[in-house]
Amino acid sequence: MPKIIRGYVHGVDAMNRFVGRIAMYLIFVLIGVLMWSSVSKTFFDPTLWTLETAQFVMVAYYVLGGPYSIQMGSNVRMDLFYGDWSVKQKAWMDAITVLFLMFYLGVLLYGAINSIAYSLGHFEGDPYHFFWTLLTTFVTEGPNAAKDLMGFMERSPTSWRPYIWPVKAIMILGVTLMLLQVLAEFFRDIGRIRGEEI
């Protein structure tokens, strides 16, 4: 395999290992939030923010830990015939099926970008043009001018009413990291087909 592909695979592996090892500690944040929820409901006034915060933390835990899970091979697989195949046969099957996963993640990323544009107040037109205009305005005119470009920002319909864009941004980051990791796995499978280990 070319040096640039090996560098890509090792770089993506290192990045997703770093993010995944940090994301796995979010389970303790989730436990803390849910424990506080139980304590506050029992001894104090119930807090409004705990359930939704727990959901947001769980999204971050799941989405940011997914690429690391794929890297470690700990994702769930249907193993009817696959377990008895040779390494080369498995690599062929993985290289073919990963293309479907890439397509799915691409569609998911496209939808997530549209969704975050909506949550930032962009309700019609091309979201990519909106983000480009937002970025150029931020760089040239400053944060206040960029803020003026955003419309009514989406909030949760609950009584706490947090902004939704941060969790959508985490989802975009997670899906992007997943796409990068899946591409690295594709290159790794191509290497196995050729008899090389990356």
Span 25-47, pLDDT tens digits? 999 999 999 999 999 888 888 78
Is the distance from CB of 181 to CB of 70 less than 8 angstroms? yes
Tell whether 137 is covered by a domain: yes
**Residue 153, helix vs strand vs coil:** coil
- Residue 103 falls inside a structural domain: yes
Residue 56: pLDDT over 90: yes
> Which pTM was predicted?
0.87
Structure tokens at 72: 């470690």
Per-residue confidence (pLDDT) for residue 145, from 0 to 100: 87
Distance, CA of 181 to CA of 193 (rounded, Å):
18
Would residue 198 count as lying in a domain? no
Residue 80 lies in a domain: no
Q: Where are the beta strands (DSSP E) in 35-189?
A: none
Provide the domain count of the chain: 1
Of 6-10, 122-126, 169-173, least confident by mean pLDDT is 122-126
Range of the domain at 30: 3-75+85-193
Q: Which pLDDT does position 196 carry in this prediction?
A: 87
pLDDT at residue 62, rounded to an integer: 93
For the chain, percent of residues with pLDDT exceeding 70: 100
Mean pLDDT of all residues belonging to the chain:
90
pLDDT score recorded for residue 122? 83
| Average pLDDT for 5-32 | 95
- Does residue 178 form part of some domain? yes
Q: What percent of the chain has pLDDT over 90?
A: 59
Neighbouring residues of 24: CB distance < 8 A, sequence distance ≥ 6: 61, 65, 68
Q: Which of 9-18, 159-168, 178-187 has the lowest mean pLDDT?
A: 159-168
Question: In this structure, are residues 170 and 72 in contact, taking their beta carbons and an 8 Å threshold?
Answer: no
Range 5-26 average pLDDT: 95
Mean pLDDT score, 73-89 = 81
Is the confidence at residue 78, as pLDDT, over 80? Answer: no
pLDDT at 197: 85
| pLDDT at residue 124 is higher than 90 | no
Residue 44 lies in a domain: yes
Query: Rounded to whole angstroms, how far apart are CA atoms 37 and 40?
Result: 5
